[in-house]
Amino acid sequence: MHIIRDLNAIPIEALGGAVSIGNFDGVHRGHVAIAERLLERATEVAGPAIVFTFDPHPVRLLRPDQCPPPLTWTERKAELLAGLGVDWIVAYPTDEALLQLSAIDFFDQIVRHKLQAKALVEGPNFFFGRNREGNIERLADMARLANLLFDVVPPVSVGGSIVSSSRVRDLIRAGNVDHANDLLSAPYRIRGLVTHGAGRGAKIGFPTANLSGIDTLLPANGVYAGRAWVDAIAYPAAINLGPSPTFSDAMVRVEVHLIGYHEALYGQPLEVDFLSKLRDIRPFASPAALVEQLQLDVEQAKGIATA
């Protein structure tokens, strides 16, 4: 996984290849199709396959109140793209200077000069330059005049609807991680820092890692089957996302019970995959009734995570 953050320090190995520009949020099946074509073009021009993305999303600077929560953080995005065969990821630090570049200046300064691209691969709804003045038709003209190979990859449809980051985001917001994962190139993942919680889980026999500082979209409240990653090892996990009504606690928490892991994780980062929603959050008549349900949740989560 190679991440470039400074366009003035691009390794020579990252020049003269096939480039795709976009946010690639979530790295869904539509992005997979773009990556596949990108690799083909990279082979044709005998250069690297490069994804140029933005960190943060330009909308966060232009219209922060309208910026959707991301599905992936930059390193995770790069990891997923590298798994598809992409050689280099440019995570451009979005700033005012970038946002003020005209479409032609963006093309000349970044695509041709900085990256020395020989091929471009994009989806059909691509816009670039100040005020999104450049569209896919204009990019095609620029590429033709510059003698760059140019491809527009058609959208991918699943279940009769186009796969998009917005569609994935809606499914995750609704807690439908099963369907969302069908559209993604890998199970939906969040990350956070393990902090001390109320300690109730340990007292009833189900210790949890409580996550804070999560910087991507959270699924709807519920109990989920998942996997937690510790030192590159995946452990089955039962995830409780939401309040604890049995104990009259309205605070929303992300509590991860790692099945088969018994060491302390306080102060460590933890990445967690969401595989399937098991049930909604609901109050129980007593802690004993809750424990009985948790036993069922853990067995079900283990079965799903190890299937």
Q: Which residues of 235-253 are buried (b: 16+ CB within 10 A; e: fewer)?
A: bbbbbbbbbbebeeeeeeb
pLDDT computed for residue 62 by the predictor: 67
Residues 6+ apart with CB under 8 A from 174: 220
Give the model confidence (pLDDT) of 219-234 as tens digits: 999 999 999 999 999 9
Give the model confidence (pLDDT) of 134-162 as tens digits: 999 999 999 999 999 999 999 999 999 99
Three-state secondary-structure class, residue 197: coil
Q: Is residue 32 packed enough to be buried (19+ CB in 10 Å), middle (13-18) or exposed (0-12)?
A: middle
Cβ-contact 216, 208 below 8 angstroms: no
Range with the largest mean pLDDT of 55-69, 88-102, 117-131: 117-131
Cβ-contact 257, 211 below 8 angstroms: no
Backbone angles phi, psi at 198, to 5 degrees: -75, -15
Average pLDDT, rounded, for the chain: 93
Mean pLDDT across the stretch 119-142? 93
Tokens for 225, please give them: 């089957």
Neighbouring-strand partners of residue 270: 192
Neighbouring-strand partners of residue 228: 235, 272
Cβ-contact 175, 221 below 8 angstroms: yes
Tokens for 158, please give them: 């699943």
Give residue 259's pLDDT band: very low, low, confident or very high (50, 70, 90).
very high
Q: What is the pTM of this model?
A: 0.93
Mean pLDDT across the stretch 170-181? 98
Q: List the domains of the chain with CATH numbers.
A: 3-158 (3.40.50.620), 187-305 (2.40.30.30)
Residues 6+ apart with CB under 8 A from 138: 103
Q: Which residue type does 275 have?
A: L
